[in-house]
Amino acid sequence: MDMIKLSNGVEMPLEGFGVFQVPDPSVCKQAVLDAIRVGNRLIDTAALYMNEEAVGAAIKEAIEMGMVTREELFITTKLWTSDASYEGAKKAFERSTKKLGLDYLDMFMIHQPYGDVYGAWKAMVELYNEGKIKALGVANFYPGKFTEFAEIVEVKPHVNQIELHPFYAQYDAIENMKQYGTVPQAWGPLAEGKHGIFTHPVLSEIGTKYGKTAAQIALKWNAQRGVSIIPKSVHKERMEQNIDIWDFTLTDEDMKKVDALDLGHSEIIDHNDPNVVKYILSAKADA
Ligand SMILES: NC(=O)c1ccc[n+]([C@@H]2O[C@H](COP(=O)([O-])OP(=O)(O)OC[C@H]3O[C@@H](n4cnc5c(N)ncnc54)[C@H](OP(=O)(O)O)[C@@H]3O)[C@@H](O)[C@H]2O)c1
């Protein structure tokens, strides 16, 4: 497993495990335990996912069982739009760390580019300076918003988590982030199963050469271009598959073949659609 050094020197695993859409506590706890057992060290949750307590229970059990130490883990959570303010971010940090059973976070992110993100960032930077957060991130900050934010704030985001997979490659957004030393992290690295990704002829054909699946080629392609990946699965055999991508390298030609699959737009969500913005603002996170 490769690690990537963030602009503040913190080492982050390039691959991790996401728990979006795993609301059932026992399913989530088991999934996180399995994810750690197969070798994942980065766990990505959010107040919105309503499963921070289950993630915390799994972390506690994994540490007690001697599978891993706290220091080996890299735990990310995110504050929701309802907490996008100075006071809100402070409260969100307390709430999330309590649910997770942690005294520090490896990464705290602003989940969406809405609300008083500058007030929230100020609070997050204070917590970072106190050593309670090791690195700071944003999510869904697309190039225009990301540039505005990164130009204005003093502590630049260490990570920006956006939708990145073979059908939405976003090379421009990645280049833009690099100007600020920000590491791109892919949400939906398996396109949430859309566009026939798991049986896609191009990905499958490339996979045959390396003895890998289409999913593994999609993940490796992102990792090989320096993008952190956090695939989700509640199936242990898929988790094993998703993390088994570190024993081969795609040729330049194969990278280009995957590049060519880019549709140039999302088939999952459009942050420029006013109805999507309203929907996001109306969604409720864990209280
Ligand atoms: N910041 C944001 O706004 C944002 C948005 C979305 C996601 N995220 C984060 O990114 C993580 C990953 O994104 P995602 O969960 O949306 O989608 P994803 O990881 O692209 O895809 C997950 C889907 O793929 C299936 N799957 C996983 N591995 C597979 C394999 N090897 N073969 C076949 N099917 C496989 C899973 O099914 P099973 O579970 O049934 O195996 C699930 O249906 C999330 O969990 C979350 O932590 C963040």
Distance from Cα 164 to the centre of ligand 1, integer Å: 12
Contact 134, 10 (CB under 8 A): yes
Q: Is 190 in the pocket of ligand 1 (CB under 6 A)?
A: yes
Rg value, the chain, Cα: 18
Q: Is the CB of 161 under 6 A from ligand 1?
A: yes
Q: How far is the CA of 80 from the centre of ligand 1 (A)?
A: 19
Judging by DSSP bridges, how do beta strands 3-5 and 11-13 pair with one another?
Answer: antiparallel
Residue 48's nearest CA partner among 104, 95, 106 is 95
Question: What residue's CA is closest to ligand 1, atom 9?
Answer: 187
Distance 86 CA to ligand 1 centre (A): 31
Atom 29 of ligand 1, residue of closest alpha carbon: 238
User: How far, in Å, CA of 27 to CA of 7, rounded?
Assistant: 35
Alpha-carbon 66 to chain mean position: 26
Q: Is 186 in the pocket of ligand 1 (CB under 6 A)?
A: no
Q: What is the pTM of this model?
A: 0.97
- Phi, psi (deg, nearest 5) at residue 123: -65, -40
Q: Residue 84 has which token pair?
A: 């996008």
Helix ranges, 101-142 (H): 117-129
Q: For 45-93, write each residue's pLDDT tens digit.
A: 999 999 999 999 999 999 999 999 999 999 999 999 999 999 999 999 9
What is the pLDDT at residue 287?
74
Query: What secondary structure letter does DSSP report for 168?
Result: B
Report the first-to-last Cα separation within the chain, whole angstroms: 35
**CB-ligand 1 contact for 18 (6 Å cutoff):** yes
For 192, list phi and psi in degrees, rounded to 5: 50, 30
The ranges of the chain with pLDDT < 50 are none
Which helix (H) or strand (E) is 74 found in, with range? strand 74-79
Contacts 24+ apart (CB under 8 A), 24-27: 25/51, 25/53, 25/54, 25/57, 26/54, 27/234
Q: Is 238 near ligand 1, meaning CB less than 6 Å away?
A: yes
- Set out the domains of the chain in order of their start, with CATH numbers: 13-282 (3.20.20.100)
- 40: CA distance to ligand 1 center in Å? 15
Residues catalogued as catalytic: 49
Ligand 1 atom with minimal separation from the 190 CA: 20
Number of C-alpha atoms within 13 angstroms, CB side, residue 120?
28
